């Protein structure tokens, strides 16, 4: 009997060691993140490296946590869809909304962000209490797949035009082919930098909403790696603005 007990204990120890052996440690686990090229948060430099304020925030989390992130650039909607199916562990940077909360958990804020309405200087714009334009039948430009896009698309009475980048939308607004552009201040600054335009000769600006940006981690990843998620949350807090 005593020998059987010893063998049983040894078997349990072997099984426990095997379980620990197949569980990746924080230093060996590679976390798959998806993002999109949305300036100035994520873009390529001349050498083909990902740069931008969003990348800086994610690299800060990586440094603080000691984790390793692999990052793939995809269309923004596809990046989110692949997190919902579990093919990727998370996506960045995005603001919080109910649709995303159904399949992922928001960690942030990592970046301050305000949604702004941009209108020609000779146009007077009035807003409803929810931040939408008071006048309907207006043509609005917004970056495809962003939280701003989803939000304004759900509001009836507007014609929404999209582009994967904000600069062409500002050009359309300047040419009189759009009534308004909904974008962040960082997107507008990127437009000014890329076109060498003067801010004084551009548009009137009204604040629509305050929507901080963060990292979303998929619920499937969280279910598998709850301890690592806690580490990411602590690291994100240290990287917060």
What separation in angstroms does the CA of 83 have from each of 92, 104, 127, 209?
Answer: 11, 8, 35, 26
Closest listed residue to residue 146, CA positions, set 39, 32, 33, 31: 39
Describe the strand order of the beta sheet including 90-94 as a list of residue ranges.
68-73, 30-35, 90-94, 213-218, 104-111
The tens digit of pLDDT for each residue in 201-236 reads 679 999 999 999 999 999 999 999 999 999 999 999
Res 10: pLDDT: 42
Q: Which residues pair with 131 in a beta bridge?
A: none
Residue ranges of the chain with per-residue pLDDT less than 50: 2, 6-24
Res 20: pLDDT: 42
What would the DSSP string read from start to end of 131-151? SSBSS-SEEEEEETTSHHHHH
Domains defined along the chain, listed by start: 25-112+213-239 (3.40.190.10), 114-210 (3.40.190.10)
- Mean pLDDT taken over the chain: 88
Taking the model in full, what pTM does it have? 0.75
Q: Which residues pair with 216 in a beta bridge?
A: 91, 106
Distance of alpha carbon 217 from alpha carbon 32, whole angstroms: 10
What separation in angstroms does the CA of 126 have from each of 84, 117, 131, 181?
Answer: 37, 10, 9, 14
Integer-rounded Cα Rg, in Å, for the chain is 23
Supply 234's token pair: 């602590």
Res 39: pLDDT: 84
Res 193: pLDDT: 85
């Amino acid at each position: 009997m005593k020998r059987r007990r010893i063998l049983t204990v040894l078997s349990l120890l072997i099984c426990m060691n095997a379980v620990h052996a197949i569980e990746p440690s924080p230093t060996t686990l590679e976390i798959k993140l998806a993002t999109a090229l949305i300036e100035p948060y994520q873009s390529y430099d001349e050498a083909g490296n990902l740069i931008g304020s969003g990348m800086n925030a994610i690299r800060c989390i990586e440094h603080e946590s000691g984790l390793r992130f692999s990052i793939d650039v995809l269309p923004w909607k596809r990046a989110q869809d692949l997190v919902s199916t579990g093919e990727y562990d998370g996506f960045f940077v995005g603001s919080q909304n109910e649709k995303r909360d159904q399949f992922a958990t928001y960690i942030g804020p990592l970046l301050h962000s305000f949604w702004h309405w941009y209108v020609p200087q000779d146009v007077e714009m009035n807003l409803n209490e929810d931040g939408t334009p008071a006048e309907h039948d207006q043509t609005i430009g917004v970056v495809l797949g962003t939280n701003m896009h989803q939000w304004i698309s759900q509001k009836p009475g507007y014609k929404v035009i999209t582009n994967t980048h904000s600069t062409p939308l500002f050009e359309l607004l300047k040419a009189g082919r759009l009534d308004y552009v909904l974008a962040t201040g960082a997107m507008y600054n990127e437009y000014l930098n890329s076109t060498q335009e003067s801010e004084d000769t551009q548009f009137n600006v009204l604040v629509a909403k305050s929507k901080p940006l963060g990292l979303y981690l998929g619920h499937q990843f969280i279910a598998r790696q709850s301890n690592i998620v806690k580490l990411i949350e602590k690291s994100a807090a240290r990287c917060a603005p």
